[in-house]
């Protein structure tokens, strides 16, 4: 915030402590009872540490330059801060940059190199956009609108405060819209549905457990014996490996024990990455992406995106209360299903005449053989879940020598016109206005 009359503003808010950055372009006001200390006083940001009870948090308030070289310096300095932050971190303000062409309307197309530098910064610093509600853009000049102001958070912030809501307020007295950030605490579901874990197939006794009745329920109970809490096991294996390495260097432990500790650590890392990769549903990775912090960040970001924190009703009013959202959804579908069905134009079959010969050549009515069914199964990514039962494609691939007979019969019966079991035809419909 830039102001020529700061002394007049300070007189109006005597109960707030305040701080201005090195070039007086960013002013920070906080209630007197809030404990905070400035860690970095930068020309483009203020970085502070907050103490809320026993919890330590970090906040960074940004007013980015519109000069490319200065922005590059800013992104580099913030990445260095990220490497020193070991707790919750939220940052934002006027970043003077857009992340995609859709965040600008009017004027010339945005700079591709500037967008790439900004998105690279978000990736390197493991930061995620907290999103927003209300209108899309936060800044205007003439006929050009842009989303220059935003709030970002690290993985720990998403994990602790997944229901953070950023609102774009009405523009008045400035060419920027004010942002307000609010945090809501919502109780997590007590029981999650069954989901087959691909890491189970890495255990040597896995195949023997498939013969048990009620496979899903049995596997959930069996999971705790060979695997337990994989996150705690990984930490324990890391500490054990470190202690063994120190003991080996002092001549206390033999190299055999060191190798066993390293093997245990590699196994726990494999389990952890398999579990996190399935949970985050990311199927394509480049070298260097295989680390648990990356997976957890993606999980938290995906969880944030799957939440319905607000909705716009038919009159354009923004609803944020959970009960009001539910009532509006009910009313929407009640009115939708009570409407008289509209007549549809008949499809002209002649338009599809050129496709008939091609469709017949596919021989879709031919009953597939076991080898063809297996080839189709192998083409499916192992992390994909076919139905609501939670079993991944990797489960069917791993247990194919056990289930191939029944599996093949079920598929062939479908091509023979025999009605499949209700288990295969059941579906879950989620209505979202």
More confident residue, 54 or 414: 414
- Do both 52 and 33 map to the same domain? yes
Residue 202 lies in a domain: no
- Do both 285 and 420 map to the same domain? no
pLDDT digits (tens, 9 = 90+) for 211-268: 666 777 777 777 777 777 777 888 888 888 888 888 877 777 788 888 888 888 888 8
- Do both 292 and 332 map to the same domain? no
- Do both 257 and 396 map to the same domain? no
- Do both 33 and 76 map to the same domain? yes
Residue 123 lies in a domain: yes
- Do both 96 and 70 map to the same domain? yes
- Do both 159 and 38 map to the same domain? yes
- Do both 101 and 176 map to the same domain? yes
Q: How confident is the model at residue 283 (pLDDT cuts 50, 70, 90)?
A: very low
> Which CATH number covers residue 83?
3.60.10.10
Residue 178 lies in a domain: yes
Spatial neighbors of 154 by CB under 8 A, at least 6 apart, are 82, 85, 88, 89, 90, 125, 126, 127, 128, 297
- Do both 71 and 159 map to the same domain? yes
Q: Quick one: pLDDT at residue 289?
A: 46
- Do both 180 and 284 map to the same domain? no
Is residue 301 over pLDDT 80? no
- Of 184, 204, 219, which residue sits at a domain end? 184
- Do both 111 and 23 map to the same domain? yes
Quote the domain boundaries for residue 259. 229-305
DSSP 33: T
- Do both 35 and 157 map to the same domain? yes
6-10, 50-54, 68-72, range with greatest mean pLDDT: 68-72
178-187, 296-305, 367-376, range with greatest mean pLDDT: 367-376
End-to-end CA distance of the chain: 39
Q: How confident is the model at residue 51 (pLDDT cuts 50, 70, 90)?
A: confident
The overall average pLDDT reported for the chain is 81
Maximum Cα–Cα distance across the chain: 85
User: How large is the average pLDDT for residues 12-22?
Assistant: 77
Residue 1 lies in a domain: no
pLDDT digits (tens, 9 = 90+) for 372-412: 999 999 998 887 876 666 788 888 888 898 889 888 998 89
Residue 145 lies in a domain: yes
DSSP 351: G
Q: How confident is the model at residue 5 (pLDDT cuts 50, 70, 90)?
A: low
Whole-structure pTM value: 0.56
DSSP 53: T
- Of 184, 217, 250, which residue sits at a domain end? 184
**Which contiguous run of DSSP H or E holds residue 412?**
helix 400-415
Indicate the number of domains in the chain. 3
Residue 270 lies in a domain: yes
Half-sphere exposure of residue 156, counting CA atoms within 13 Å on the CB side?
A: 14
DSSP 138: -
More confident residue, 280 or 83: 83
Residue 222 lies in a domain: no
pLDDT digits (tens, 9 = 90+) for 138-183: 999 888 999 999 999 998 888 788 778 888 888 877 889 899 888 7
Residue 20 lies in a domain: yes
């Amino acid at each position: 915030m830039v102001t020529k009359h700061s002394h007049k503003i300070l007189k109006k808010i005597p109960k707030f402590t305040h701080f201005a950055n090195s070039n007086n372009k960013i002013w920070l006001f906080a209630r007197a009872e809030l404990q905070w200390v400035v860690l970095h006083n930068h020309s483009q940001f203020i970085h502070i540490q907050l103490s809320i009870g026993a919890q330590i948090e970090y906040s960074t308030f940004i007013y980015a330059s519109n000069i490319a070289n200065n922005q590059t310096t800013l992104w580099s300095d913030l990445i260095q801060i990220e490497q020193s932050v070991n707790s919750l971190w939220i940052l934002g303000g006027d970043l003077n940059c857009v992340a995609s062409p859709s965040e600008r309307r009017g004027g010339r197309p945005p700079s591709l190199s500037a967008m790439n530098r900004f998105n690279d910064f978000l990736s390197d610093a493991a930061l995620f956009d907290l999103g927003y509600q209300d209108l899309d853009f936060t800044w205007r000049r003439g006929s050009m609108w842009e989303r220059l102001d935003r709030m970002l958070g690290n993985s720990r912030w998403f994990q602790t405060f997944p229901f953070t809501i950023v609102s774009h307020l009405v523009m008045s007295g400035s060419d920027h819209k004010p942002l307000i950030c609010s945090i809501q605490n919502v109780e997590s579901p007590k029981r999650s549905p069954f989901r087959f874990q691909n890491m189970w197939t890495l255990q040597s006794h896995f195949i023997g457990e498939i013969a048990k009745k009620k496979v899903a329920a049995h596997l959930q109970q069996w999971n705790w014996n060979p695997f337990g809490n994989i996150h705690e096991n990984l930490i324990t294996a890391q500490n054990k490996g470190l202690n063994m390495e120190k003991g080996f260097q002092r001549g206390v432990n033999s190299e055999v024990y060191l190798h066993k500790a390293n093997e245990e650590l590699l196994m726990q890392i494999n389990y952890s990455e398999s579990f996190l990769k399935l949970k985050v549903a990311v199927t394509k990775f480049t070298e260097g992406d295989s680390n648990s912090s990356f997976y957890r960040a993606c999980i938290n970001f995906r969880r944030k995106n799957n939440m319905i924190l607000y909705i716009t009703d038919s009159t354009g009013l923004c609803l944020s209360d959970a009960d009001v959202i539910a009532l509006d959804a009910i009313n929407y579908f009640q009115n939708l299903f009570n409407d008289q069905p509209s007549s549809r134009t008949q499809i002209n079959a002649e338009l599809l005449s050129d496709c008939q010969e091609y469709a017949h050549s596919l021989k879709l009515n031919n009953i597939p053989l076991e080898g063809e069914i297996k080839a189709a199964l192998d083409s499916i990514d192992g992390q994909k879940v076919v139905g609501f039962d939670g079993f991944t494609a990797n489960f069917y691939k791993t247990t194919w020598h056990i289930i191939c007979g029944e599996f093949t019969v079920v598929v062939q019966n479908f091509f023979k016109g025999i009605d499949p079991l209700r288990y295969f035809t059941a579906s879950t419909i989620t209505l979202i206005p």
